[in-house]
A and B are shown apart, each in its own frame.
Chain A
């Protein structure tokens, strides 16, 4: 996409006759964006309850032997006070402290840099990380998820709602930004 301000529109597939949303989005040259549509389409006039979100990505390579994660809360039914996010190396001894606290709907975290775990414990065959998402201030997971990034990669985790439902999706959408 050339650098400018464009209008991005969503239509019901496959007829392309019913507009779900329409909004202006700015692009800058040389920048990569994650564009997310969330919110609700069944309520509100002309997609007024749809949230279209253009988030610039920073795909600068992580430090050697580190991986980076960013979390986007695109879940309208996430807890009102936001969520805490834990990313713990496996085997998890304890959940420890969250890497992100109080991440509310429509918020994007900073990039969290973590040591690439297999280098810390080369004898551990169950390497990787466990993601825990909790209501902010609670240690009871809403869900957990295994993450197995390669060294020096960047990942965006998108929290969403279940399709057609009214609850948070118990699985984050994992996007590999840099591999």
Chain B
């Protein structure tokens, strides 16, 4: 899991965070994502995921 956290101190416009849905059962049934904000003309973003089984409307990342 540290693969996600190690992205945190890296800089430049960019942020990378990760989320793990470990409370929902085996990780083999889950996709894991990390998000890199590399839009040079955008300031900090909040990222949300919506979908049939996603955590609808929940802010997953704050960059």
- A94 at interface, CB cutoff 8 A: no
| A12 & B39 in contact (Cβ 8 Å cutoff) | no
Most buried by A among B13, B19, B41, B46: B41
Q: Select from chain B the residue with minimum beta-carbon distance to A165.
A: B40
- B-contacting residues, A49-105, CB 8 Å: 50, 54, 59, 74-77
Interface set of B (CB-CB < 8 Å, partner A): 2-3, 6-7, 10-14, 16, 19, 21, 24, 27-54, 59, 62-63
CB neighbours of B44 from chain A (8 A): 12-14
Determine the distance from Cα of A13 to Cα of B60 in the docked complex, in whole angstroms.
Answer: 12
Taking A12-B45, A13-B44, A30-B31 as given, write out 9 further A-B residue pairs in contact, using a Cβ cutoff of 8 Å, ordered by the A residue number.
Answer: A1-B49, A3-B31, A29-B29, A30-B30, A37-B45, A41-B41, A42-B41, A178-B3, A179-B6
Cβ-closest chain B residue relative to A76: B40
Number of A-B contacts (CB under 8 A): 180
Answer whether A10 and B3 are a contact pair too, CB < 8 Å, given A3-B31, A163-B40, A165-B40.
no
Report the count of interface residues on A (CB-CB < 8 A).
57
Residues of A within 8 Å of B47, CB to CB, are 8-11
Inter-chain contact A41/B42, CB cutoff 8 Å: yes
